[in-house]
A and B are shown apart, each in its own frame.
Chain A
Amino acid sequence: MIAFRQIIQEMAAEKLHLGLTILAIAWATVSIASMLAVGEGLRQGLIRTTSNGNGDLILLTGGFATLDYGNFSKGKQLNLKPDDVDLLRALPSLAQVEPSAVWSASVTYKDNGTWQQPLAVYPQYKNLTGLQIDSGGRWFNPLDIKEQRKVIVIGKSAAVSLFNEDDDFDWENMPDLESSPIGKQLKVGEEKFTVIGVLKSNPSNIENGIPIDYAVFVPFTTWLRFHVNPSLGAINIKPAAGVDREKAAASARQVIARKYGASTEDLQLLQAQDMLLRQKTMRQFLIGLQSFLGIIGLVTLAVAGIGIANVMYATVKRATRDIGIRMAVGARPGAIKLHYLIQAFITISIGGVIGLILTYALVQVLQNIPIQGSGFYDYLGQPTPELSFTIVSLVILALSVVGIAAAWFPARHAAAITPLEALQGE
């Protein structure tokens, strides 16, 4: 019931307007699709950085009392002790419990130093936080623990700042290690330690936000050897699979609070930070950011839609006599409406396909730009724009909605013309 050929002929007679409309739609499609792709890339990047390191841990730390309760008066500090770990390990809701302690001493090699102080941990800490050792080195073994050896494992960036001769340090553009530091001796305070391993570069954080690249590790027992009445920096807890994380954190706090005669109400005295929940907020923020970028794209698309509507109104006006002819020979109003809806559909499809192809090309180019050694870029999880199936579907959906809305009114206008006024309106 539709003169399809004539739809094309009519469009071909409006090459300039058609071309501009297609351009507008293509541009709008590129903008909405690339904005969504950038947002998606950032989101995926964040998921990459937080899926290791402290990403799924609950960090238990001591603090200062804000309530007078039990053994604590306001302002008194709670120091976690190594044997606290044993109490927590008895809880079935916790899969893994690892202590960590900060050695308050600077790490130096010749005149160079590190930003972070050494962290004393057991070998199991490596699996808990997803650390990886660069080839040629090793992580702590049971013997290091047993013999309280003075060995040290250092993060990639810490190694660079310690051992590279060239000291023009650039956080944005990290240089490579000039030589292997394995076997070299450095100082923790005044004690000499032997480097046994360097960590693979990793943009994630551990503890309460220490970048893995800048961290320095010593065996837990070695640290004990040099400290009387030692207190822990933190207890890293991994809840068992499937348990309620908040309940697991609460029971851990309760056990420790009872041991020290502290209030479970005092959230400052004994803090349990769930890193996963913290990320959830961040992930939600990124979804929000993505929606925001999408809305900007959608507005661009809506503006293109107004363009489509305008061009179509003009087309309908110019084609008034033709509409009259069609109606005189028997075209029903519905057929006229469909005629212009199909015209709009073709225009939008061409624009949309061009836009998506351009976006795909743009994303390919961006994904292949080598960005390396930029700390900030690594920190973001090396995001690249990603044109996922979901995004393409969303873009097509948006195009359809805008297209139908833009074409509906001119098409309805065309169908409402009576054949008489159309033929007389010449």
Chain B
Amino acid sequence: MSLVQLKDISKHYQSGDEHVYALDGVTLTIKKGEFLSILGPSGSGKSTLMNVLGCLDKPTAGFYQLDDHDVSSFSSKELAAVRNSKIGFVFQSFNLLEYATALENVMLPLVYAGVNLRKRRAKAAELLERVGLGDRMSHKPNQLSGGQKQRVAIARALVNDPQIILADEPTGALDSKSGAEIEALFSELHHEGRTLIVVTHDISLARRTKRIINIKDGKVVDDEILEPSSTIYHRREGD
């Protein structure tokens, strides 16, 4: 069963006199439970692809189906709802609210989902425990190390139980030890049956995923399956 279906997705814009094709006819299918990476040098269009996948950006042309919904026709209000319920983001620069505590940061998606405070707290606390930050809940981002910040961000990405977790260079701003911890966490999440998409230019990070999609000049140039995704894990129930 395919979770994501992209058909002829293009994204172009005018930059000065130049007509830039950030994405040029990308067709792609991603199944539930896959752990894949989108690999490419900077300027290859991989970030644009991630923005389109994450409903942060609308394609200029093409068809995008996510979990049986044609999101390419959605309004910005509907896209917000999709981001809220189906997608979890992990960014290179963490993107945490600086004045809010770790717990409040993790609770944020639940606020916009209309979950009440008591449930928000319980769910956010559970996920911070899950990423090993049970003792850092009331710390603010500036009191946390890079690796800890990224784990807060992962907890936030998981809190709404999304269909896809999108990670943009998740280890790019971390030292190698913290980076390895994050990679290990991703592997765990994959084994729990979650769908993970990692966008990176780092081949060694890409090698840890099960499928590598190579992007160049806005086109998919290679789609390499490292480990046949025969093992579609069942997602944990009740979280």
Task: Point out residues on A near B: beta carbons under 8 Å.
Answer: 1-3, 5-6, 9-10, 12-13, 321-322, 324-335, 418-420, 423, 426
Contact = CB atoms under 8 A, between A and B. Distances in A.
B57 A329 contact: no
24 contacts: A1-B112, A6-B97, A6-B99, A6-B104, A9-B100, A326-B108, A326-B112, A327-B80, A328-B83, A328-B89, A329-B83, A329-B109, A330-B80, A330-B81, A330-B84, A330-B109, A330-B160, A333-B76, A333-B77, A418-B56, A419-B83, A420-B51, A423-B56, A423-B95
Contacts of A333: 76-77, 80
B93 interface: yes
Contacts of A12: 99
Interface string B69-97: 00000001100110111000101010111
A326 B100 CA distance: 12
Given A330-B83, A332-B77, A423-B95, 13 more contacts: A1-B114, A3-B111, A9-B99, A326-B108, A328-B89, A328-B95, A329-B108, A330-B85, A330-B160, A332-B80, A418-B57, A420-B56, A420-B57
A240 B84 CA distance: 76
A10 B80 CA distance: 22
Contacts of A2: 111
Main secondary structure of the interface of A (DSSP, over half): helix
B78 to A, nearest CB: 9
A330 B113 contact: yes
Interface string B200-215: 0000000000000000
Given A9-B100, A322-B97, A420-B51, A329 B85 contact: no
Contacts of A9: 99-100
Interchain residue pairs A-B with the least CB separation, the first 9 = A330-B84, A329-B109, A330-B112, A332-B80, A3-B111, A9-B99, A420-B56, A331-B112, A330-B83
B219 interface: no
Contact of A332 (B108, B109, B112): B112
Contacts of A13: 99
Interface string B123-165: 0000000000000000000000000000000001000100000
A329 B156 contact: yes
Interface of B: 51, 54, 56-57, 76-77, 80-81, 83-85, 89, 91, 93, 95-97, 99-100, 104, 108-109, 111-114, 156, 160
Nearest to B93: A426
B111 A1 contact: yes
B109 A325 contact: no
Contacts of B104: 5-6
Contacts of A334: 77
A50 B99 CA distance: 63
Nearest to B77: A332
Contacts of A327: 80, 83
Contacts of A418: 56-57, 76
A6 B110 CA distance: 14
Most central of A10, A328, A331, A426 by chain B CB within 10 Å: A328
Contacts of B109: 329-330
B89 A329 contact: yes
B56 A419 contact: yes
A3 B57 contact: no
Nearest to A327: B80
A329 B105 CA distance: 10
- Residue from A1, A333, A419 having most chain B Cβ neighbours under 10 A: A419
